[in-house]
Amino acid sequence: MAPRLDFSNWWGKDTRKGTPVVVTMENPNFSVVKIDGPDSAFRPVEKSRGKNAKQVTWVLLLKANRAIGCVAWLATAFWALLGAIKKRLIHRQGVTLASEKLGKGKLLFRIIRAFLVTALATLAFEVVAYFQGWHYFKNPSLHIPRTSELRGFFHMAYVVWLTFRADYIAPPIQALSNFCVVLFLIQSVDRMILCFGCLWIKYKKIKPRIVGDPFKSDDLEGSGNYPMVLVQIPMCNEREVYEQSISAVCQLDWPKDRLLVQVLDDSDDETIQWLIEAEVAKWSQRGINIIYRHRLVRTGYKAGNLKSAMSCDYVKSYEFVAIFDADFQPNPDFLKLTVPHFKDNPELGLVQARWAFVNKDENLLTRLQNINLCFHFEVEQQVNGVFINFFGFNGTAGVWRIEALEESGGWLERTTVEDMDIAIRAHLNGWKFIFLNDVKVLCEVPESYEAYRKQQHRWHSGPMQLFRLCLPAIITSKISACKKANLVMLFFLLRKLILPFYSFTLFCVILPLTMFVPEAELPVWVICYVPVFMSFLNILPAPKSFPFIVPYLLFENTMSVTKFNAMVSGLFQLGSSYEWVVTKKAGRSSESDLLAAAEREPKTINQPQFYRGASESELCELNQIKEQKEAARVSVKKINKIYRKELALAFLLLTASVRSLLSAQGVHFYFLLFQGVTFLLVGLDLIGEQMS
């Protein structure tokens, strides 16, 4: 028999030290459970048992406290919004109006303002009629009373308005609504086809591959098989990011005698010129083949800068050119992952890498941009690259065959989208493109609405301007009819013109109008179900962004104003279509990148740095400039702006939401309310700073 281990006496010993404390319970509450059998003690006891009135009171008080806290949070947020409106619109504190150069957006603002005034007058008219009991809009047959039933001048005016609205205003609004819904469905089908293509690529694991070892050579130094590569870094007043971009490019893993770096500086600030030139001199001292170029005549923006650099005589010795904007930080193996694709593929003109963002989680604005750009690269660029061998060059993080650039006419200064221009001309000449979704290059997205707005204006006005210029060349080119149709119908019309047109017209114009003209109806599935489903498809490449699906939908509708305005200015060659504003950057780097850069730095980094051809006085001046640069970073203070078109649309949508209450349209009311609040936040420039 096994020995019995009884530790009851040992556990029962009182080993605690100190003064014993006796707790006496006054009015104790005991709950007695009756046991009928041996198993009764192990039966589950009902939760309702044992609860007295005092416990129930505490539970109710706790729930009430939570409810009050939620209401208090909503009230605080609403009060803060009202305070911001009062501060920005009434007291004008910290506000500068967005500049409207060369008539940019003035016509659109006048139209929106006219709609707002009309909506307010109509709302007042409808409210009076509602409280008078004239609910004719609730009758599906729209009964119009006869003259004998009229009750005064105001009633007669209301009846005349109903007749005029039903006969003359509702039909054109309904026709425009149906037209926009058809465009919406066509564009949605295009998005779905792209998503199915992306799923097929993932299912079949289709991606460009490098065959063999392209760098295998009998040369002792191992660089005999490496082609000559030119790397260009175009920049203009890039104070925040010039150091990290030059540093990343100079650390590319490529034989030094087969690589040349061109820093193409278009800065008009002499201080920044000195800093960039000193940075170039520092890397030149370390044995990097790097050249600093500065143009005296700064014409043509980035296209003019690249065109000037390609005209140098020594460029003829190079076979490929890699381009990186000032905020891009390629990994050391970038060239070894991209250049080998050109070997044994003479028809290949471009290899494009994907962008990755170091500040995608900085605030709500950067998170929403990350959703859009992830869909653009992983779905649009990848599908077009696999099935069509064509996509729009992104202007950076790509490698071109110099022969393809020269044969296609080189860089032209006729638009602000020189990257898309050269890609289309190369495609018309028969060159093929490859997109590498696995090769990522770090960069930044704009962190302020002002910078993002200017970037989007350039990205949407340039394609329409280019479409006018390229259409004759596309029609007369020797490429197949399918490729011509893809360029004209899908690349330009559907994705560059129709998308901003229906997005602005349908959700910012027609939807508010249908609240004041209920005879013209907009189905619920157009407002809610299809947009949510399409937003879900857009978020698929970035699944971590799923909680932001509703803000993403509302913000995309808000940005349709800027995109529509840019599209119109580019299509009709208005003054702002050729406006180029350098996107403001913050100069951020991820923590892992900083650690990797620190490890790659040579040990001589702590030693005194001597610049070639620099005297002691010049070095002192450089140190002063660097100190001023650091002080400028600290002293920069954000100046908020107000955007008139967004504010006018905010009040128009909020007015329409109030009107929707009269006809008891639930989904329409909530959509108009939230969309109006989003326009209000954007119009007051609160989207970046208040939602971090």
Cα distances from 653 to residues 87, 116, 158, 683, in angstroms, run: 22, 9, 23, 13
Distant-in-sequence, close-in-space partners of 532: CB < 8 Å, separation ≥ 6: 549, 553
Judged by DSSP in three states, 236 sits in coil
- Asked whether 522 and 505 are in contact (CB, 8 A), the reply is no
Query: Which tokens belong to 55?
Result: 């416990």
In order, the DSSP letters of 588-630 are ---HHHHHHHHHHS-GGGGSPP--TT--HHHHHHHHHHHHHHH
Alpha carbons 208 and 435: distance in angstroms, whole number? 8
The residue annotated as part of the active site, out of 265, 325, 327, 419, is 419
| β-sheet with 398-401: strand ranges across | 290-294, 259-265, 229-235, 320-323, 398-401, 348-357, 432-443
Question: Can you list the pairs that 334-338 forms with residues at least 24 positions away whose Cβ atoms lie under 8 Å?
Answer: 334/252, 334/439, 334/441, 335/229, 335/252, 335/253, 335/254, 335/259, 335/399, 336/215, 336/253, 336/254, 337/436, 337/439, 338/399, 338/436, 338/439
The residue annotated as part of the active site, out of 265, 266, 421, 685, is 266
Query: Which tokens belong to 331?
Result: 């990994």
Radius of gyration of the chain (CA): 33
- Asked whether 334 and 417 are in contact (CB, 8 A), the reply is no
Judged by DSSP in three states, 452 sits in helix
**For residue 389, with 0-12 CB atoms within 10 Å meaning exposed, 13-18 middle and 19 or more buried, which class applies?**
middle
Q: Is 419 a catalytic residue?
A: yes
State phi, psi for 230 to the nearest 5 degrees. Answer: -105, 130
Catalytic residues: 266, 419
